[in-house]
Amino acid sequence: MQRIGKAERKTKETDIEITVNLDGTGNFKQDVHDIGGGTKFILHMLDNFARHSLIDIEIKATADLPHHLIEDMGIVLGEAFNKALGDKKGINRFGWALVPMDDVLCRVALDLSGRIYSNVELQVLGETIEDLPLSLLNHFIESLINQMKINMHGHVLYGDDNHHKVECFFKALALAMKWAVTFDPRKANMIPSTKGSL
């Protein structure tokens, strides 16, 4: 089975197309026009996310400004996930991970609940990670959470290096998401909620 979702967004500011395959092997393909302002770093994070979640991600994007690009990539990625997940029949729904990266330890727990709630503290010191403004990273995470309507708790518990803190978060997010979207054949025809919908 291959659960594939494709989403597009074309505005005066951005032109983005993202495809995800939940049953992939972690392949990351991108054709994104590098416009600075954190483009490289966010792609590095998404490459990590794909690799460790085993979710294939393909992105094609152009944009006028980094802010528009990064925020809209979060929206389109969330939409692609929603399409791939469909009615969410048979998925684990919950996912969690505790991941170290050198000096940093990060914990992520999520629920693909259809309800938005987030509590994310990455403990980044200063205003930027490499060339990515912290505010933009927060926008990206928020866009993804809002679009997917999920509940996410993500905390860097300790550590020093900003790059490690954020990368560790994306790795933990990847492992949590991998488990949450995994299909369990024992509940193939079951939506994992006592409400009967998610």
Nearer to Mn ion, 23 or 47 (CB): 47
DSSP letters along 91-142, please? B--EEEEEEEETTEEEEEEEE--SS-EEEEE----SSEETTEEHHHHHHHHH
Piece in contact with Mn ion (CB under 5 A), picked from 35-43, 123-131, 162-170, 173-181: 162-170
Distances 171 to 73, 166, 183 between C-alpha atoms, Å: 18, 9, 20
Residue 174 touches Mn ion, criterion: CB under 5 A: no
Token readout for 128 is 């930027």
Piece in contact with Mn ion (CB under 5 A), picked from 115-123, 128-136, 160-168, 186-194: 160-168
Nearer to Mn ion, 56 or 167 (CB): 167
The least distance separating Mn ion from the CB of residue 106, rounded to whole angstroms, comes to: 14
The least distance separating Mn ion from the CB of residue 68, rounded to whole angstroms, comes to: 24
The least distance separating Mn ion from the CB of residue 163, rounded to whole angstroms, comes to: 6
8 Å CB contact between 180 and 110: yes
Residue 167 touches Mn ion, criterion: CB under 5 A: yes
Q: Rounded CA gap, 101 and 86, in Å?
A: 33
Residue 49 touches Mn ion, criterion: CB under 5 A: no
Contact residues for Mn ion (CB under 5 A)? 167
